[in-house]
A and B are shown apart, each in its own frame.
Chain A
Amino acid sequence: MRDAPLISVNNITKEFPTPEGPHLVLDGVSIEVRDGEVLALLGKSGSGKSTLLRAIAGLSLPTSGDVTASGNRVVGPNPSTAMVFQTFALLPWLTVQENIEIGLEAQGVARDEREKRARSAIDVIGLDGFEDAYPRELSGGMRQRVGFARALVTEPDVLLMDEPFSALDVLTAENLRSELIELISSDQFVIKSVVIVTHNIEEAVTLADRIAVLGSNPGRIKASFDVNIARPRLRTSPQFQFYIDRVYKILTQSPTEEDAALAARSESEHQNGLGHALPMATTDGIAGFADIMLAEGDRSIAHLADDLNLEVDDIFPLIEALALLAFADVADGRVALTDAGGEFAAATLQSAKELFRSAALANVALISMILTSLERSPKRSMRGGYFLDLLRHHYGTKESEGQLDTAIDWGRYAELFEYDDNRDELTLPKPDLA
């Protein structure tokens, strides 16, 4: 720890241009990658964790601030790193061996040397016998092993991993994780540090020496702490649960607690009628989750996620949706249904729709804004593009589409308005049917 950091990220911001002006993805992020550590970057979707990883890799340059590797400013792909990709990024027309060799080939390493090093990486990773196979012949787990070997064989200082297990099934992911832990602690492992991006809290606590939790919209570091549990780490140990709970608490801190500036911003959004960002939850998901909550009572989110086998990206939109609709209270890593929420969960299909309708009208600014606009329009219909333009002043293009899609989904379910996709037209429901 007393050594100079391998990589430092110094107060970077990252904006992506959109037609309506720049969209802020990372806001004032600073972090160091220390020698000999496994660092986990943990966050919900939209927290810019992948963007941060790509800034470290030198694949994407920050808008302001800088990244340095061993004191040198990173201005292009960072030669002291190698990356393991989420969907493997193996070239389907090359064999396992050729895929592993490609980084060495680019460095101009001679064929004999290349083959020797690739074979030793294949040996370490446990890919023997698959050298001449093509990626399509391999299972997902085997493919990601090739991804590991390809990164290891170039012997980088820092191994970067972008959600390396999220495209695998649960059992395979578990197996690869334990192999990774074994590998990191073995003598054959020449790589100094590992940075892993994940939205899986257990994964972070299992693997990492240090966890940095990122907040969303825009991405920034909410907290960073060491994980002081001896290895091997047991999931059932109280220490393990302590860290899991700690992460959930950080993630459920409400925006006002966090940052006054952010609160002011969301206040101004309220004034222009858009309100809080809608969580990307389907009405079925919301209703189903409310049903489960009704049976569970007041629960810690960590336990709930564990029981339901849901990851952060799955469970948080649901919790946020319930909270936004005032169907649930969230505090301190725990969630409980409100009275209205209990009523919603217990109701029949038709009355649940009615409860949802009044909750949406009272609490979801975007939906009530759409409804007011429709009522005021002389034709009682408006184009979706109009609302998309409004949203684009506050969100990126893709996110705006997500917001409008969610609002339309909710509004249709609540029978507040109808939408014709072919004509991109929002209309009030026909009176004879309502």
Chain B
Amino acid sequence: MLADIAIAAAVFIVLFAVVALIDSADVPLPPSNDAKISDNPASLPYYAVRSMLRMMIALGLAYAFALIFGFWAARNRKAEQLMVPALDILQSVPVLGFLSITVTGFLALFPGSELGLEAASIFAIFTAMAWNITFSMYASSRSMSSEFDEMSRLFRLTGWLRFWRLDVPNATIGLVWNGMMSMAGAWFFLTASEDISVDGNNYAIPGVGAFAGEAIDDGNWTNISWAILTMIIMIVLTNVLLWRPLVAWSEKFRNEQSSTGTPQKSFVLTLIRRARWPARLGAVRRRIADWLVRHTGFLGSDARPVDRVVTKRGRVWDVIFWIVVTVFLVAGVANLYVYVSDGQGPTAFVEPIWLAFLTMLRVVVVIVLSTLIWVPVAIKIGMSPRAAKIAQPIVQICASFPVNFLYPIVVTVFVAWDISMNWGAILLMMLGAQWYILFNTIAGAQAIPTDLREAMQDMRIGGWMWWRKFALPAVFGTYVTGGVTAAGGAWNASIVAEKVSFGTTILVAAGIGSYIAEATIEGNNRQVLLGVVVMSIFVVAFNRIFWRRMYALAERKYSL
């Protein structure tokens, strides 16, 4: 617990350092450039390619980060102690809230060009994807069967061989799944980061998100529809051309003694496998791989004893290490406090904490409503193989779709019916978050063993009892996974959902999301940082106090 608080403090100090650096550099912001974005739907294919390119670069970076740092955390005790809680906190930091600060930073790094905006956008997508992929890499390496580890050490594999022959293949299935899930969530960040306002200036980079942003600002319904259509095509294409083949291919890394379950199929993968060029590439690849194996001995060998003895000297270094860390943390937190409280003392925190509490109530309502609506539906869908086959890809698209595109429609309704945004924001947050609950619960219902279902039929168990004693407990485990993701999504969405504009209409709800959004537009970095820190703390606390217990309960009592 103490360690977790220390790590959280460290993460906040790093954010603070970034803000302080940008404040002190005091670079003048370039003028708005959003006029460059075309309002002609004919440019959408080009914009789609640009958006996709950004997404792929960020995904590549996220994978590179995950492989290196996940592996490192699994192999090095000190790295593990720092990184695992850090990843947990980073997952809870609302990336979107920090966008204005990174944009300013990157603009300063690349003066006079759009590269800064590109970099900021890619960075935002990267931070939305990297942490859970990294965690999956770490978890796979840590849970590798001990016989594999012993085999590797006894046959004295080099570090390079070990990484590519054991750790990476062992983690592949998890890496692909997490990549797919991360990308589903990242479309939202992609589009949001393509069109952004900082300190009164509007910045946009060519992309579907920017196109949609302009259309929303202009109240142009036709263009909004075109953007929505383009987005759906992009999501479907990435699923068909990228993820389905990858998922089917990754099946060969399944570490099971017997092959079970339905094989994943992908016609694209079959096409690639039938083609001839991969075989030719294979020969070249083998030669390069051989050369690399022979020339990477300097990276070390896996021939190490398992249980290294902790020496006295090691302990002394441990103590010194922790003293340095403590001094750094205390000084950092003190500075952070002085900066964000801005001479007002503790009262500076009253407003954001109250607002975060309001947003938390919204998140709770989102979860409760999504659960009540979707869990029964999901159970029914999951138990019918036919329905599940049709519903699953649709739900996946819904979960991927950047719902900020839909806000104008909803906002128009709110205005027409005079609905208060304080309630309306709940619906906006729910639009994106609910799908995770539906998606995961369907998967859970599909996994219920047939003999259990038949036993229930056999004993004529029906009605409420069927739900209470059988169906609901059986999906509880996967429901919790969906709930955590949905809650995380809802918190993040609050930043765009609590302050929405359409044409000249601007609707604001009281909450930490609108607090951050307004600070961003004003270019008030202090307030952005304060909002982000408070929201992160709420998210982490919510996870620790509520979801972690649910997980424990699911594992202990409701695992099938």
Interface residues of A (CB under 8 A from B): 54, 57-61, 75-79, 81-83, 85-89, 91-94, 102-103, 105-108, 111, 134, 136, 140, 150, 154, 421-422
Contact = CB atoms under 8 A, between A and B. Distances in A.
Which among B154, B172, B252, B258 has the highest number of chain A CB atoms within 10 Å? B154
A82 B255 CA distance: 23
Given A76-B303, A86-B147, A106 B157 contact: yes
Nearest to A134: B252
A94 B165 contact: yes
A3 to B, nearest CB: 25
Contact of B151 (A81, A89, A111): A89
Contacts of B166: 91
B394 to A, nearest CB: 32
A92 B256 contact: yes
Given A76-B305, A92-B254, A111-B290, A103 B155 contact: yes
B506 to A, nearest CB: 51
Given A59-B153, A136-B259, A85 B307 contact: no
Which among A77, A85, A421 has the highest number of chain B CB atoms within 10 Å? A77
B354 interface: no
B148 A59 contact: no
B156 A107 contact: yes
B522 interface: no
B165 A59 contact: no
B157 A92 contact: no
B465 interface: no
Contacts of B557: 422
Nearest to B148: A89
Contacts of A57: 150, 154
B296 to A, nearest CB: 11
Nearest to B158: A106
Nearest to B301: A106
A166 to B, nearest CB: 13
A54 B290 CA distance: 31
A130 to B, nearest CB: 16
B150 A105 contact: no
A336 to B, nearest CB: 41
B559 interface: no
20 contacts: A54-B306, A58-B154, A60-B306, A61-B309, A76-B153, A76-B303, A85-B150, A86-B147, A89-B145, A93-B253, A94-B165, A102-B157, A106-B158, A106-B301, A111-B290, A136-B256, A136-B259, A140-B257, A154-B155, A422-B556
A101 B172 CA distance: 22
Contacts of B303: 76-77
A27 B257 CA distance: 36
B155 A92 contact: no
A102 B148 CA distance: 12
A285 B301 CA distance: 48
Contacts of A77: 153-154, 156, 303-305
B94 to A, nearest CB: 36
Contact of B147 (A58, A61, A85, A422): A85
A176 to B, nearest CB: 17
Interface in B225-268: 252-259
A85 B305 contact: no
Contacts of B161: 102, 105-106
A60 B305 contact: yes
Which A-B residue pairs are the 7 nearest by beta carbons?
A: A89-B147, A103-B155, A93-B169, A89-B151, A77-B303, A106-B157, A61-B305
B420 to A, nearest CB: 43
Residues of A contacting B: mostly? loop
B293 interface: yes
A88 B557 CA distance: 33
Given A77-B153, A89-B148, 18 more contacts: A57-B154, A58-B154, A59-B153, A59-B154, A59-B305, A59-B306, A60-B306, A82-B154, A85-B151, A87-B145, A89-B151, A92-B254, A92-B256, A93-B252, A103-B156, A106-B158, A108-B293, A108-B294
A92 B255 contact: yes
Contacts of B556: 421-422
Contacts of A140: 257
Contacts of B306: 54, 59-61
Nearest to B259: A136
A76 B293 CA distance: 22
B252 A106 contact: no
A154 B307 CA distance: 25
Interface string B303-329: 111110100000000000000000000
A154 B156 CA distance: 11
Contacts of B157: 102, 106
B165 A102 contact: yes
A388 to B, nearest CB: 16
A65 to B, nearest CB: 14
B304 to A, nearest CB: 6
Contact of A136 (B148, B258, B294): B258
Given A86-B147, A91-B165, A111-B290, A106 B257 contact: no
Nearest to B304: A76
B147 A75 contact: no
A102 B156 CA distance: 10
Contacts of B147: 85-89
Contact of A75 (B255, B293, B305): B305
A83 B309 contact: no
Contacts of A59: 150, 153-154, 305-306
Contacts of A91: 148, 165-166, 169
B150 A83 contact: yes
Contacts of A87: 145, 147
B156 A79 contact: yes
B257 A136 contact: yes
Given A61-B305, A61-B309, A54 B150 contact: yes
A209 to B, nearest CB: 24
B292 to A, nearest CB: 11
A61 B286 CA distance: 37
A58 B307 CA distance: 11
